[in-house]
Every structure is written in C-alpha cells, then in structure tokens.
Amino acid sequence: MSSRRPARARLEAMFCIVALLGSSLPSRADGQWGGTVVATTDYVFRGVSQTYDSGALQASVDYQSTSGWFAGSWVSNVDPYPFGSVSAELNLYTGFGWSLSPDFSARASYTRYLYLWDSRPRPYDYGELAVTLGFEDRLAATVSYQPDSTRYATPGYVRDRPAWGYELTGRWPLWRQVGFVGGVGYYDLTRLYGVGYWSGSAGFSYTRGRLDAQVTRYFSDATVRRLFDEASADGRWVASVAYRF
C-alpha cells in the first residue's frame, strides 16, 4: 500500500499540472489569467492553524477559460505541527464552473494538496473533490470529499482514510468598500478519529482597487483543541492583506 500511494499522488499531481498547462494552449483571448499575493498573520484552514500562530506569505496563479474550465496553483509556508521545521504547501487544482441562472452558479473541482521540503518521515499529501453552489458573489455552499485524507492529531497519525466537509461562506457589502466576511463548516473525521467538529469565522473586509484587507475572528468547538491542541484557532484574530492581479 505504501508503494502505491506515492505513485498515485504523482499521477494526480501530474494530472493537475497537465490541466493547468493544457488550459493555456488556446489563445489568451480565449480565457483569463489571474492571481494573488497575500500576507497574513496566521494561516488558518478549517479551524486549525497551519503555521502555529505565525505569519504566512501566500501566492496563487490561475487560468479561467471562457468555456468554464479553470486550473491553477496556490502555495504557502506551513508549520502545522510543532516540530520546528517549516515547509511549503502547494495546492494544484482544476475543475469546471457553469451558470445555472442569472443569480446561481455551480462548480466542481479537484485539488491535490502537496507538502514540499517536508522533513517528516511520513507522507501527508492527499486529494479532495468538491462541489459548490453559489449565489451571486455573496454566498457559497460547498460539499467536499477527501478519499485519502492523511493527517496527524493527538490520537496519532492516520493515512488514506475518507473524510467529508460541509461549508457555507459569505461576503456581504455593508458600506462603500467595507463588507462582512464569514463562514461556518462541519468536518466529518469519523473514519480518521471517530469524531467530527464545527468551526467558523466572522470579520470585515476593506477593498480598494486590487487590494483587499481583512480582519477575521475564528472560532471552533472543543473537539478541535482535543485533536490539534495549540493549533486550534478558536478565539484567534487574524489580519491579512491581498493584492489581486
């Protein structure tokens, strides 16, 4: 099993890379390139700090075709476990989006989570399938499935187990360039640790041109602290600044 998993991970990563490169083969008039550069005081993912209450620099680049196909990559420094060894998380993703009506849209995607320069002796890479239903640019409901979720928590290291995620996120204008941002999610880790947990966030954003600044407070239930100890983001305030291009 250990020999098959790295091979599968390489194949899935190659699939994402091929999709990203393939999407750029048509003329540039057929689609649009974009990206972001972000500085944040903490990288919080589903209620868990991936940098142990430390800052992170992040960047992304993506391509959106006029037919609905998209692909891209996202990278951040991470230190999700207190081993004092900083590595990088690279996400490669591809998918398809389509309009259901003037107000509603849908998207299906696959993301491969890869950890680079990771000194830990065990692998942590995994994949995720997700389907999202969106209302304008304000609300999005997502169901995600990880067929080979792999992670470390207080009960120990678990690999290649299925996990589910259910999320509702929103962004609502309040006054001029100021808006409310927030979300809530439930993450089913029953096949990993026999439990699931809730987490969410609420805050404010300020947008001016290509710049977007946010201040967000994260919260989560007691299960997150039992599983991830000090990496729980419950009660934590995070500030970030993003530049879109």
Q: What is the pLDDT of residues 195-218, one digit of tens each?
A: 999 999 999 999 999 999 999 999
Task: With H, G, I as helix, E, B as strand and everything else as coil, classify residue 7.
Answer: helix
- pLDDT confidence tier of residue 236, bands split at 50, 70 and 90: very high
Nearest to 55 by CA among 244, 245, 238, 242: 238
| Predicted model pTM | 0.86
- pLDDT, position 18: 44
The distance between the two most distant Cα atoms of the chain, rounded to a whole number of Å, is 55
Q: Mean pLDDT, to the nearest integer, of 43-71?
A: 95
In order of start, what are the domains of the chain with their CATH numbers? 4-244 (2.40.160.40)
- pLDDT confidence tier of residue 27, bands split at 50, 70 and 90: very low
- pLDDT, position 86: 75
Over 80: is that where the pLDDT of 129 sits?
A: yes
- pLDDT, position 220: 96
- pLDDT, position 8: 46
The β-bridge relationship of strands 126-135 and 56-65 is unpaired
pLDDT tens digits, 80-101: 665 656 789 999 999 999 999 9
Range scoring the smallest mean pLDDT among 13-17, 68-72, 125-129:
13-17
- Please give the mean pLDDT across all residues of the chain: 89
- Measured CA to CA in angstroms, residue 159 lies from 17, 52, 119 at distances of 24, 22, 17
- pLDDT confidence tier of residue 119, bands split at 50, 70 and 90: confident
- φ/ψ of 6, rounded to 5, equals -60, -40
Over 50: is that where the pLDDT of 13 sits?
A: no
Q: Rounded distance, CA 71 to CA 212, Å? A: 23
- pLDDT, position 83: 60
Q: Answer for the pair 26, 209: CB distance below 8 angstroms, yes or no.
A: no
